[in-house]
Amino acid sequence: MHNIKTNFDKIFEVVKAIIQEETDAKGNYPRRGTKPRFSDMEVIALSLTAECLSIDSEHYLFAKLNKEYQADFKNIVSRRQYNDRRKLLFEKTERVRKLMAARLNKQADVFAIDSMPVEICKLSRHGRNKMGKESLHHCPDKGYCASQKKYFYGYKLHSVCSVAGVIASLDLTKASVHDVHYLKDVKELFSNCTITGDKGYIGRQHQIDLFQTAAIQLEVPLRSNQKEQRPVIRILKKVRKRIVS
C-alpha cells in the first residue's frame, strides 16, 4: 500500500488551499469550547486520504496509524472521535472532494461512463426487505446487470470518470432505471468533450441530442447486427477500462 503520511501531506495542502479562509489559524471551523488539537482540516484530509487509498475500514485505518505512523500523527484522535467528527464534517468534506476533482479534471476532455449494480439483498429475499421502503420514489427495486448476466435487487450506481481515473460525477438510481437516462444529467454537467461507454448507451437520438445541446461526442461500440459498422477506437477502449476497474 502507498505511504499514508505522504499522501496525507499532499492532500492536506490541497484541502488547506480550498478552506483556509473558512477556518482559523489552526485549521478548525468556529465552535464553542476547547479547540481540538487534531484540526477539522486534518480530519477532512485524513478522510480523503483513506478514500484515495481505497481504505474503507476505519478499524484497518487506525490499526495502521497506531502501529506504523505514531510519530507522524502525534495529535491523532481516537477512532470514535474521528468517526463522530467526520460525520459532522461530511458536507464540507464532500464540497472539498468535488472541488479537488474539478481541479484534477480541469483540462480533461475525454471521459468514460458506466453503471454498476448495488445489491442490498438476494433477489429471493427482496420481499422481506424493509430498506428504503419509506419513500416510493427512493425505494429499491429489481434490475438486470448485462455484464454479470443476472437480475438483482437494489440500486444502480452511475458514474463518469476522466482518463486519470478521477470521478467527475456520481448518481444513484433504482435498479430498473436504464443507463441512457443518466445521459440527461450528463449533458447538464459536461460540455465540449468526448465520452465513451458500453453498448448500454447505444442510441442514435441520444448521441445527436448530446452533441447538439452540449457538444458532447458519445462514442459507443455498435452491436454486431447493426448495419453501419465502424472500427473501434482502441484508445477509447483503454480509457473505458479506467471506470470498469
Residue showing cell 448495488: 118
Blockwise average pLDDT, block size 10, the chain, 245 residues: 86 92 92 89 94 88 91 90 94 89 81 91 86 79 89 93 83 92 90 88 88 90 61 56 53
135/127 Cα distance (integer angstroms): 16
DSSP string for 3-39: -HHHHHHHHHHHHHHHHTTTS-TTS----SSPPPSS-
What is the per-residue pLDDT for 87?
94
**What separation in angstroms does the CA of 67 have from each of 1, 60, 70, 192?**
15, 11, 7, 48
DSSP tag of 53: T
Tell me what pLDDT residue 236 has: 57
pLDDT at residue number 128: 85
Q: Which helix (H) or strand (E) holds 86?
A: helix 79-88
Distance CA 205, CA 166 (A): 28
Q: Tell me if residue 66 falls in helix, strand or coil.
A: helix
pLDDT given for residue 155 in this prediction: 94
The domains of the chain, with CATH numbers, are 4-104 (no CATH), 110-244 (3.30.420)
Contact 166, 106 (CB under 8 A): no
Q: Do residues 118 and 133 make contact, with C-beta atoms less than 8 angstroms apart?
A: no
Q: For the chain, give the longest Cα–Cα distance.
A: 71
Cα–Cα distance, 154 to 120 (Å, whole number): 5
Q: At what angle do helices 90-104 and 40-52 cross, to 10 degrees?
A: 60
3-class secondary-structure state, position 197: coil
- Which pLDDT score, from 0 to 100, does residue 136 have? 73
- Other C-beta atoms closer than 10 Å to the C-beta of 155 total 23
Dihedrals phi, psi of 75, to nearest 5 degrees:
-100, 15
The strand pairing partners of 144, in sequence order, are 151
Helix (H) or strand (E) holding 184: helix 183-189
Q: How far apart are CA 222 and CA 207, in angstroms?
A: 13
Nearest to 46 by CA among 88, 9, 78, 99: 9
| Residues forming a β-bridge with 219 | 196
CB atoms near residue 73 (< 10 Å): 17
Write down the pLDDT at residue 93.
93
